[in-house]
Amino acid sequence: MSPVIEEHARARLITDGPLTRPVPVDLRYDAADDPRTVHIGLPDGTDWAFGRDLLERGLRTPIERGAVRVWPCGRTQLIVELHSTDGVEVFQFEIRTLIRFLARTRAQAPAAGAANAAPSSDGSPEKRPSRTRPGPKEAQPDPKGAQPARG
């Protein structure tokens, strides 16, 4: 059984106003759960699960999958935009934080052959209540592709 990789990070929540604010987020990976999926736990208690490749590609070029958009912002920042029935949340991450986290996940990921033998997943993002922090409300399915995750 492979260990779960968790990293506490800070992101900047981008708002309509002139100011942004730092927020704590939890980056999580569990190869036993799904070797192709990473999680971002937000301060409101929700957990977004989506394909690891989405973050990896987003480091180089804008990409969108379902309710998640990711794109580089300059040489040191990455923007992650999350759409749900509750609205839109936009976070700015330090690229080096995500590169370090993704490198750790690749080191834990099963060999390519084992990953291909895993049940297929379309890589769609999922939004669900966090396992570690109870949220104030239950996550709702997103009509653009985010669905409650089973856990």
Identify the pLDDT of residue 128: 56
Q: In tens digits, what is the pLDDT along the chain, a chain of 151 residues?
A: 678 999 999 999 998 878 888 999 999 999 999 999 999 999 889 899 999 999 999 999 999 999 999 999 999 999 999 999 988 999 999 999 999 999 999 988 776 444 443 333 444 556 654 444 333 333 333 333 343 343 3
CATH topology of domain 5-112+124-129: Transcriptional Co-activator pc4; Chain A (2.30.31)
pTM of the model: 0.72
Q: Sketch the domain layout of the chain as residue ranges.
A: 5-112+124-129
Identify the pLDDT of residue 125: 58
Contact 13, 24 (CB under 8 A): no
Identify the pLDDT of residue 133: 38
Identify the pLDDT of residue 147: 37
How big is the chain, counted in residues? 151
Main-chain dihedrals φ then ψ at residue 124, nearest 5 degrees: -65, 145
Closest CA to 81 of 96, 97, 70: 70
